[in-house]
Structure 1
C-alpha cells in the first residue's frame, strides 16, 4: 500500500529538516514543492507531498509520521 503525507510549515530551516527527516525514513518526494504567502500570519509557507510503500493495510487511525 502507498502512504501519502503532505508536510507544511513556515519557510524556515525547520521545514527543510522536516522533509529531510521524512526522506531519511524512506519517504519519497511526490510532485513539486509549494510556496505561498500566509497573509493571516504574515509569513511564507512551504509544502511538500511525500509517499511511501508499506506492507500493511490502511487504517484511518494510522500515525503516518511514525511509518
Structure 2
C-alpha cells in the first residue's frame, strides 16, 4: 500500500480559470459546510437568497446559493436593455400587452 507521500495530489485549478457566476452548496449542516460557504464569501461571492434546510430522517441537509456581484450587475443590465428594446419597439411601460397574462 503506497504511503501518503507517493499519492498523487489533486490537480490544481488553473489561475486563469474563470469563476462560476453562480454556485449552490449543499450538504450536512456541519462545520465543513459552513467552511465551504465562508471560503466562497472570501473569494468575493455574496449570499443569494436564504439558506434552505431539510431533514432526511437522520441529518439536517442545508443548501446555500452564492453569486458573484458582477453576475448580478450583468443580469440587471441585460434585463434593463431588454425593457428598453421593448419600449423602443412601441410598447410603452403603460401599454397593455394583449394576449399575455
TM-score (norm 2): 0.47
Per-residue displacement from partner, 1:29-50 (whole Å, max 9, x unpaired)? 00000111123xx211111000
The structure with the greater share of residues assigned to helix is: 2
If asked which structure has higher relative contact order (CA below 8 Å, sep 6+), I would say 1
Q: Secondary structure at the match of 2:23?
A: strand
Count of residue pairs the alignment pairs up: 51
Structure holding more strand per residue: 1
1:64: which partner in 2? none
Cα RMSD over matched residues?
1.6
TM-score normalised to structure 1 length: 0.68
Structure 1 stretches (4+) deviating beyond 3 angstroms? none
